[in-house]
Structure 1
Amino acid sequence: MTGMDWNAALTYLPYFLEVLLWGAVTTVICTAGGFVVSVALGIVFGGFSSSPSPLLRGIAYVYVEVFRAVPLLTLLFIIYFGLATIGLKFDAISAAIIGFGVHGGAYLSEVFRAGILSINKGQSEAAFTIGMTRLMAFRYIILPQSVRVVLPPLANFAIGLLKDTSLASAVAAPEMMFNAGRLASETFFATEIYLLVALLYLCMSLPLSYLSRSLERRMGKGYAR
């Protein structure tokens, strides 16, 4: 079959949507899981990189430089295929979540570091004067205030992560792109299927884009006051 045959493709549309929407569920799972891991690592290593301890700053520096330098696809292959050779086996979805999380955490650590450093040092000093430890001051004073600064970048990161989950198809995670490839090989409606995938990604990305713009406006009003 050559070219686009929309009439024939429309007859398969319910089947296409069923398969792709099941893949979309996996896409959302990978996105949500990777986002949670990225934020957790971003907070930890962002805190390390803004710490007065040279050791913690060094650990954060190595983590950020290494995982920002390694391509995400290469990292997924290492986690899924490479670690299996030493007995650490992960299923495709778990490997994808870990890979997205570790890779994304390296970027978000810099976002959180900037957010933490944007808080006036007097906040920490005031916390110390009332008997708080450095960890308590970070948890209860610094981090809550820095979250307000980093919310818009976090929303933008989530949009990018949603699109990056298409790389999980390389390790056979049954997300949308993996299912789309299977459908295209079965039916030869490659153009129509991938256009439908693009539309589904758009439908999932638009709410996140709206959330990002809304957060930016709210943050801007907050700073204006």
Structure 2
Amino acid sequence: MIDLGVVLLILLDGARITVIIALGALVLAIALGFSLASASFLLRSRLVDTLIAIYAGILHTIPSLIWLLLVYFGLAHIGIRLPPVPAATAGLGIIGSAMLVEVFATAFRSVAAKQSEPALALGLSRLLAFRLVIVPNSWRISLPPLGNYALALVKDTTLAAAIAAPELMFQARALVNRTFETGLIYGLAACIYLGVAFILFRLTKRFEQVASQ
């Protein structure tokens, strides 16, 4: 008979790694996506837009699992050896940036269409108008898709098991292989995923409420 307490502790430790990977990937995806969208908006260069489109297109085309394997094993092949958790965080974050760059770009364009001319009429430079007017208002538009992305990212962390990152799914598989209690262990893992997703959902809704005030 398995010790349910031990099983829960192992799964919760895996959930901790899942949260670490998801948060790290979210921060990286936001930073890269925001930076690329900002460069596109401010520079208004066809070359820059083309390069960003190629970057996003490549990442959208390559399956996420293949990309994680490329990051983990490909970098190791050229002498850059990342542990599984940082490799999963970097891989998922880079993938996410390809989606978020369009989220931020759309938000910038939406705000600019309404507020660029009044800001420039007040004597603000394009850079100041972007920093003081467009960026703060664009976050209100960006938050709902960012929340949806964060929820999807929690599910995508299961892919990190393929590179031996000890997240929740990796630990669940290891427990199933040892105990053969497939239904119980995967059922508990599903409940933990639901709990994490619910907490994240409530947090994103709270952020949206604060931003709308």
TM-score, length-normalised on structure 1?
0.86
1:108 to 2:100 alignment:
yes
Aligned to 1:146: 138
> Hey, what's the Cα distance between the residues in 1 that align with 2:34 and 2:46?
18
When Rg is computed on C-alpha atoms for both structures, the one with the higher figure is 1
Alignment match, 2:195: 203
Look up the equivalent residue of 1:168 and give its one-letter code: A
Give CA deviations for 1:30-81 in whole Å, capped at 9, x if unaligned.
0000000010111012223434211221121111111111111011000000
Aligned length: 212
Return the letter of the residue paired with 1:151: L
Matching residue of 2:19: 28
Residue in 2 that maps onto 1:4 = none
Distance 1:217 1:142 in 2: 19
Q: Which sections of structure 2, spanning at least 5 residues, go unmatched?
A: none
Instruction: Determine the structure 2 residue equivalent to 1:17.
Output: 8
**2:88–2:160 CA contact under 8 A, matched in 1:** yes
Matching residue of 1:189: 181
**Aligned residue for 1:5?**
none
Distance (whole Å) between structure 1 residues aligned to residue 88 and residue 63 of structure 2: 13
Map of 1:68 onto structure 2: 60
Q: Is the 8 A contact 1:48 1:59 kept in 2?
A: no
Q: How far apart, CA to CA, are the structure 2 residues paired with 1:113 and 1:176?
A: 34
Contact 1:43–1:112, Cα closer than 8 Å, also in 2:
yes
1:17-166 correspondence to structure 2 within 5 Å: 17-51=8-42, 52-121=44-113, 123-128=115-120, 132-166=124-158
The one-letter amino acid paired with 1:157 is Y
Judge conservation of contact 2:112–2:134 (CA < 8 Å) in 1. no
Shift of 1:126: 4.8
RMSD of aligned residue pairs (Cα, Å):
2.1
1: CA distance, partners of 2:208 / 2:115 = 24
The structural deviation recorded for 1:129 is 5.6
Verify the 8 A CA contact 1:38 1:103 in the aligned structure 2: yes
Q: For each residue in 1:145-192, what CA deviation from the matched residue of structure 2 results, as whole angstroms up to 9, or x when unmatched?
A: 101101111111111101110110000000000111111111111121
**Distance of 1:127 and 1:109 partners within structure 2:** 24
Tell me by how many angstroms 1:208 deviates: 2.2
Q: CA deviation at 1:89?
A: 1.2
State, as a whole percentage, how many aligned pairs show the same letter.
40
Inter-partner Cα distance in structure 2 for 1:137 and 1:111? 20
